[in-house]
Structure 1
Amino acid sequence: KSYSEALHWYNYSVSFYTPGQIDQNLAKLQRNMASCYLHLKQFDRAKEAVKEAERCDPNSIFSKFSVYKIAVMEKDTDKAVKAVIEMGKLVEKPSQHEDKLRVDENTGTNLLSLAAQIALENEQQVVAIKALEYLSEHLQDCRQLFAALKCLIRLMLSKVMAENGENRDEDINSMLTYLTFAHKRIAESFTEEKFTEDMKTLEAHWFRKIAWNLAVQFRGCPEKMRDFFLLSFKFSQFCPSDKAVLIAQKTSLLMAAAVDLEMGRQATPSEQTELLTRALQHLQACKEIWDVLKFTGDFAKDPTDTLLLLYEFEARSKLNDPTLHDLMESVWEQPQIEVKTLEIIASLAMESPARYPILCKKALKSALNLHRQQIVIDAVKFSKCLHSLINISLPTGLTDWDASVLQEAWDYFEDALSVISSTDAYPEMEILWLMTRAWNTGIFQYTICKYKEAEQWCGLGMRFLNHLGSLKKSYE
């Protein structure tokens, strides 16, 4: 470590060259001198030596590395990143003369690895990330590659958490790229004998979990969350299918489908079709996993069956899928379907671009029957369900109603009166709405000269008046 003495001998060797001479050995001498100057903290002289080395051998990765070291020590991030990029390009296309300096095939990756280490030691996060990116592209050894990618993901996550705005989105996309590349390399590693099955499983588990955690971390960005969940699922396919992995797979696919459905609600028609079709693919894969998972334990309270049904119904109804009615036939046969599920189905059946009034009415009627079967009827929930059922049964804008339609609607009003008479909990605004709707139906009958029906419906409306509370005087 006698740097001054070394410099004396290097200078002596340089003196044998004529000024302006270009020679690879001279470049090597200048790089060695630069290294000594760096150890002696003589940065200006080190930069002069490196500049001379670049002049003598501009395409040498060693010269770029010397430039890089000085830039890092001077905390010149832009210059350090530029040097890493140039090193990366030289790794891709090695100099045709470097074989004279006995450069083996690992030299480039070794220098990039050292560059990342130097950056980390000097707390140059951005520079370290760039070095690790190039390193990951060129490493052939799987263990080294996955170690580099893990470090890269941790560094980028730390950077993302301190950011906001456009840069943050770009860096989240970078993490998706890293994980996608890791998945590709794990898939390719099955042909490598040195990388054992246990090693593959271990690496797949790590990346599966990190992808899952990133999905949860970025739940405020639905599209990114979906992509991380799907990557977590893909990594889990390299893991043994135990119960924990199956649950993670099921959840990942359910979340991905949910995001596609949510995005589809605000998408253009062509985008919506693509998103809904993709959601169905996720749901089909999820069903297959769920069928296996149910044999591993008691999932009586698990909502997966309900979610699968609702998600599939929404996707197929909005795609105008002809198999939708077959799906619903199995639903009507279920003995333990919940009221809330039926009400959601009814709502989805009429949510644009879907329009299935018959399915909507059938779901609401089933829900109303379940409300009636309760020992104590929940008047608020009952009133909301009945309100929706009357609206779908007596749609506004029609010039006339069939007698059977009117009779069906009349029965619903009678149902309402029956419940209102048995409880004080029926919402007063709903009673007012029922009264007004019955009265208006009667007035409409009068305008088309159906006087008997008009009298009946107006009379029905008056029966609700007696059940109004504070609003009664305003309508008497």
Structure 2
Amino acid sequence: MYSLQLLTKLHSKENELLKKEYDNHGINIRHEALWFMKIAWNLALENSKVSSCTEQFFTLCAKFSSLCDMDENSLVRQKTCLLMAAAAALEIAREQPEFDDKKQAWQQALEHARSCKEVLKQLQETTKKDIGSTNDPSPVLLLLYEYEALAKLGHNKELEAVMNQALANPNTEIKTLDTLAALSMEPPAQHTGLSKRALHASIQKHLQHTDIDVNKCSKAIHSLVQLILGDNDVSVASNVQDAWSHKAIHSLVQLILGDNDVSVASNVQDAWSQYGIAIKLLESTHKQSYPQSCTTDPW
């Protein structure tokens, strides 16, 4: 109840400052706006366990910040607040039992994410820095938040554009690609094609490393093969051929079979024992190619 009262007061104060800025042509409200921005920020942190309050306080924080001087510090504050508000809105959607309420929260998250993108553009113009080349995690988080909201809302064209953006960026990390693949299939989303693309890119990045993380790469392969075999619009035989035709999977198998290090073969077997569908598929199509260490059925 107390938080709701504070929200009401802060909303009133925001309207008051907006009116004052309009009437006085923006003269001398910045110090006041900065003060209330700090209050909204602290209240957002204090109410971090209540997603609806967190989202509203961070939204107000961003609005108060927009009434301050449009310098780098103010833009960074706006960016952070909008990013936190988007995250809170996605959390609200997860908590809602009714689909209409979830949809409203996803839409709110999308609006916050898009507002944040505009602030990031302003920040880049102000600082003359390439945001993507810094250690700031905001662009990656923003991409993931926007993608999740679009996936859940079923905005397919916009969703594909975000995926293309991620795949076109050579700095996109494996972890980000794996997350995009998972979000593509997280109910109510069902974007199999986009999930396949993200997983394929993830596997390709694994193969570019000299020291492959076999467990993580095997998990990505397992997920990709599972998606391919899960397609109901083609025959099982066709699906098996489709799975094997993925160059990333074939390249990994060739890499493993061409390595005489027993410890590597053992690690591969241990990893694929957890994701049996991949090795079962490959055994069924290329059984004669496997060394003895990889042909023992662990199931």
User: What TM-score results when the alignment is normalised by the length of structure 2?
Assistant: 0.84
Match of 1:417 among 249, 253, 260: 253
Q: What SS does the aligned partner of 1:231 have? A: helix
Q: What SS does the aligned partner of 2:189 have? A: coil
Q: CA deviation at 1:462?
A: 8.7
Matched with 2:47 is: 218
1:286 aligns with 2:116: yes
**Equivalent residue letter for 2:64:** F
1:232 aligns with 2:68: no
Q: What SS does the aligned partner of 1:240 have? A: coil
Residues 26-175 of structure 1 aligned to structure 2 (within 5 Å): 170-175=1-6
Counterparts in 2 of 1:411 and 1:217: CA distance versus 1, 3 Å: same
Counterparts in 2 of 1:284 and 1:418: CA distance versus 1, 3 Å: same
Q: CA deviation at 1:184?
A: 2.2
The CA RMSD measured in Å over matched residues stands at 3.0
Please give the alpha-carbon distance, in whole angstroms, between the structure 1 residues aligned to 2:64 and 2:146. Answer: 25
Q: CA deviation at 1:291?
A: 0.3
Please give the alpha-carbon distance, in whole angstroms, between the structure 1 residues aligned to 2:292 and 2:271. Answer: 12
**Equivalent residue letter for 1:284:** R
1:467 aligns with 2:298: no
Q: Is the Cα–Cα contact under 8 Å of residues 435 and 461 in structure 1 kept in the other structure?
A: no
Matched with 1:393 is: 228
Match of 1:207 among 36, 39, 52: 36
Residues 277-356 of structure 1 aligned to structure 2 (within 5 Å): 277-295=107-125, 296=127, 298=129, 299=131, 300-323=134-157, 324-356=159-191
Q: Is the Cα–Cα contact under 8 Å of residues 346 and 359 in structure 1 kept in the other structure?
A: yes
Structure 1, unmatched stretches of 5+, are 1-169, 443-455
Match of 1:430 among 268, 271, 274: 271
Counterparts in 2 of 1:273 and 1:429: CA distance versus 1, 3 Å: same
Q: Which has the larger radius of gyration?
A: 1
1:180 aligns with 2:14: no
Larger RCO: Structure 1 or Structure 2 (Cα < 8 Å, ≥ 6 residues apart)? 2
Q: Is the Cα–Cα contact under 8 Å of residues 229 and 243 in structure 2 kept in the other structure?
A: yes
Q: % of aligned pairs identical? A: 30
Q: Is the Cα–Cα contact under 8 Å of residues 437 and 461 in structure 1 kept in the other structure?
A: no
Matched with 1:161 is: none
Matched with 1:269 is: 99
Q: CA deviation at 1:327?
A: 3.0
Please give the alpha-carbon distance, in whole angstroms, between the structure 1 residues aligned to 2:112 and 2:22. Answer: 29
Counterparts in 2 of 1:435 and 1:327: CA distance versus 1, 3 Å: closer
Q: Is the Cα–Cα contact under 8 Å of residues 223 and 259 in structure 1 kept in the other structure?
A: yes
1:353-381 C-alpha deviation (Å, 9 max, x unpaired): 11011110011001110110112112222
Q: What SS does the aligned partner of 1:225 have? A: helix
1:41-94 C-alpha deviation (Å, 9 max, x unpaired): xxxxxxxxxxxxxxxxxxxxxxxxxxxxxxxxxxxxxxxxxxxxxxxxxxxxxx
Q: Which moved more, 1:347-356 or 1:174-183?
A: 174-183
Match of 1:362 among 190, 197, 213: 197
User: What TM-score results when the alignment is normalised by the length of structure 1?
Assistant: 0.54
Q: CA deviation at 1:191?
A: 6.4
Structure 2, unmatched stretches of 5+, are none
Matched with 1:197 is: 27
